[in-house]
Amino acid sequence: MPLLGCIADDFTGATDLANTLVKGGMTAVQVIGVPRGPLPEADAVIVALKSRTAPVAEAVAESLAACDALLAAGARQIFFKYCSTFDSTDAGNIGPVADALVQRLGCGFALANPAFPTNGRTVFQGHLFVGSALLNESGMENHPLTPMRDANLVRVLSRQTDGTVGLVPFAVVEQGAAAIRRAMTGLKESGRRYAIVDALTDEHLLAIGEAAAPHALITGGSGVAMGLPANFRAAGLLPERGAAASALPPMQGPAAVLAGSCSRATLGQIGYARDHAHTLELDVLARPDAGALLAQALDWAADKLGDHPVVIAASAPPEKVAALQAKLGRDAAGALVEETLASIAEALVARGVRRLVVAGGETSGAVVSRLGVAALRIGPEIDPGVPWTYAEPTGLHLALKSGNFGARDFFLKAFGA
């Protein structure tokens, strides 16, 4: 029976949350999509949806179905996970999904906190910062799907809900868990449905987590989940487990890396791999043909598979990406690369690969779908936000890396190489 039931609005965000809970000593399993049938055994079950930019009605329906499955399995608290940059539009989906969950749980109130200080996301007087920049001056104002043009989260969330939104400011958060709890109770009693809660440090997040122990619903980024394992431990529900929470079956067998992210961190990691591992860089622009690229990759890898990873990358610098997009259109270019890498993953697994790193959020989604993964058991962290996972029912070890995560030597470090 899970202690904590989580609903994540995207895939790598679900892994990030699971990773945070495992570091806090909870066992965690990420389930792909609304669960059908019995849930896996774990202290925390994280349902990974693709609901961040889905139509509102679909996002609400899937989130409620996930909530019902988690409650039916016995979850004592529900966590709605969204991005640390509060990715959403005035139409949703954070407000409408949270409204539906508040109603389903009959709790009348939930806190909202996307802060992730380790990654530079902080909330002060209700305003979200990315590093030293306000959210609306951080580059997020140009996001293609969820442009964030207002850093004031009280206003942003107010536009997405028919409920009212209050603030628990920094000065209260500084005083600790008891003061935060009193402030939230006061807001609820005065009719507020939500409270944006300021947080500048991990200590603030731990205090907010403690204050939210009795809440049926918590909404936020992975950061505010940091304080939750201690609540279950204090209630005698969670054993002292230490590192055992992240134990996975032994990792062995041929190793590979597939990169479809074109972000700066991933391009650097490919540059490092060039000097330290067998590395194939596919020239998608020169040969935009999935079958030919698959054949090239398999031919190249045939005599190289083993304990030392092979690295296959479709990633390219911005001018080459732009050229392929100009030739095929943005969506078709992305889909071609994602399908090519998914086919390569499938073929490498058929040829014996058991340990696989995938770089890129969308790319990871395509690979995991193709491999028929139903759930990911979360293991030890390689770099901040990226754990090894054990993919059921395939028996593969997978590490799914959001494009901008990981140090330069990530691809080799992952395999202890």
Residues that bind ligand ADP (CB under 6 A): 260-263, 284, 314-316, 320-321, 324, 333-334, 337-338, 360-363, 402-403
Burial pattern 45-73, b for ≥16 Cβ within 10 A else e, equals: bbbbbbbbbbebeebbbbbbbbbebbeee
- Give the tokens for residue 166: 């209050």
d(CA 142, CA 165): 26
d(CA 282, CA 402): 20
- Give the tokens for residue 391: 């993919």
CB 161 within 8 A of CB 190: no
d(CA 52, CA 190): 30
Whether a cis peptide bond, with omega within 30° of 0, leads into 93 is yes
Nearer to ligand ADP, 115 or 321 (CB): 321
Q: Residue 309 gets which letter from DSSP?
A: P
State the minimum distance, in angstroms, from the CB of residue 293 to ligand ADP.
11
State the minimum distance, in angstroms, from the CB of residue 365 to ligand ADP.
8
d(CA 108, CA 101): 10
d(CA 112, CA 196): 5
d(CA 28, CA 93): 25
Q: Which are the contacts of 324, defined by CB distance < 8 A and separation ≥ 6? A: 284, 285, 288, 316, 333
State the minimum distance, in angstroms, from the CB of residue 384 to ligand ADP.
15
Closest residue to bound ligand ADP by CB: 403
Alpha carbons within 13 A on the beta-carbon side of 268: 11
State the minimum distance, in angstroms, from the CB of residue 396 to ligand ADP.
19
State the minimum distance, in angstroms, from the CB of residue 356 to ligand ADP.
15
d(CA 385, CA 406): 8
- Give the tokens for residue 214: 């009795």
Nearer to ligand ADP, 130 or 208 (CB): 130
Whether a cis peptide bond, with omega within 30° of 0, leads into 318 is no
